[in-house]
Structure 1
Amino acid sequence: MAYQDIKIVEVQPKDSQKLLEIGRQTFYDAFGPPANSEANIQSYLQEKFTLEQINKELQNPNSQFFFAMLESEIVGYIKLNSQGAQTEPVEGSTLEIERIYVVKKHQGKKIGQVLFNQSLLIGKEKNVDFIWLGVWDQNPGAIRFYERNGFKIFDKHQFTLGTEIQTDVMMKRLL
């Protein structure tokens, strides 16, 4: 597989079941046990990763999803939010990367970079001042990835996973 073999495809409403499946799988792989309890992960998945919730998010005109495709296989995805769809009020003209996930067996193959590059293209198309995201403070690999891509920490916020309150660092990159 080569970097250029990855195709980015905008997710359509008809793809909601596929989006739900990859969303649940990649979130569980990233944050499931032993990092978090099974009960907290299942609680979060039942709240945020239901077909009803995914359909609602797909219908929001200020949110966009993109699949990373390797031939006919979905190997990752990204969710971008602008304006009122953003999870936090942030000053200025901004674009949020709410989710960026790669299927476990395809990690380390630059797929995350291809997805990230898509966010830069969308940010430039929307003429935003900066792109921002929240990343769990217990995820040093992700923090390093974003730092390598020009992000700087600018704040923190709380993230509730089941019964646990966690801290996300908020990072941004000027465009």
Structure 2
Amino acid sequence: MTLPHLQPASLSQAQLLATLAAQTLAETYCPQEIDPDSALYIGRNLSVQAFEAILKQPAAFPLIWLAYAQSGEAVGYMQLNRSYTPQLFENQQVIQLKRIYVLRSHQQQKLGKALLAQAQQLAIDQKMEGIWLICWTDNHQAIAFYKKNGFVEKGTHPFQVGDTTYEDLIFYKSFSPTN
């Protein structure tokens, strides 16, 4: 079995990321059609300009990674975020796994697991105590994936999509043997 190919995203891949992000978001949350709130979210947060801004930020390590299928096609990505930490973790050195998505056609190929492992290794390399994320309460497949990979539910967090605010679940994985 071929191991998944992961690569840090570059500034020249902002268009690819925007397309991939919009497609995976639509597959995950809007399987019939993209609603106005989701369209607003995509326009504000998953645009070429949004990804260019992230990729231009100076960082000690790459914050966005792409996963490639054997064909060479980019089929998934993950994004780390160091600029925000909820109060729940304010006295800890943690990093957010802001996004992790794989195209539906390429799920069950261990790409999500590889992206998650890469995120965790980057966090460990940066001496982080743990990694946290938020997940939509109705995304049962993702919740099962996170729990299977050692994350525990820690609370809720508001998440704005267009004009609608959702209470998403906070998940956390500690890298410390005592937590």
TM-score, scaled to structure 1: 0.90
Contact conserved, 1:3 with 1:110, CA < 8 A, in 2? no
Q: Which residue of 2 aligns with 1:65?
A: 64
Q: 1:151-166 alignment to 2 at 5 Å?
A: 151-166=151-166
- Of 36-45 and 17-26, more deviation after overlay is shown by 36-45
The percent identity for this pair of structures is: 25
SS of 2:63's equivalent in the other structure is strand
Q: What residue is the counterpart of 1:10 in the other structure?
A: 8
Note the aligned Cα RMSD (angstroms).
1.7
- Listed as ranges, the matches of 1:20-59 within 5 Å are 20-33=18-31, 38-59=35-56
Kindly indicate whether residue 135 of structure 2 is the aligned counterpart of residue 135 of structure 1. Answer: yes
Which whole-Å CA distance do the structure 1 matches of 2:40 and 2:85 have between them? 19
Taking the aligned partners of 2:86 and 2:57, their CA distance within structure 1 comes to 16
Contact between 1:131 and 1:172, CA under 8 Å: does it hold in 2? yes
Structure 1: gaps of 5 or more residues: none
- Deviation per CA, 1:68-125: give whole Å up to 9, x if none: 112311011000112xx23645321011100000011001111100100101110110
Q: Shift of the alpha carbon at 1:52?
A: 1.4
Structure with higher strand content:
1
Count of equivalent residues: 170
> Residues 98-137 of structure 1 correspond to what in structure 2 (within 5 A)?
98-137=98-137
The separation in 2 between residues aligned to 1:150 and 1:120, in whole angstroms, is 11
Give TM-score, length-normalised by structure 2.
Answer: 0.88
Cα offset, 1:60, TM superposition? 2.2
**Runs (4+) of structure 1 moved beyond 6 Å?**
none
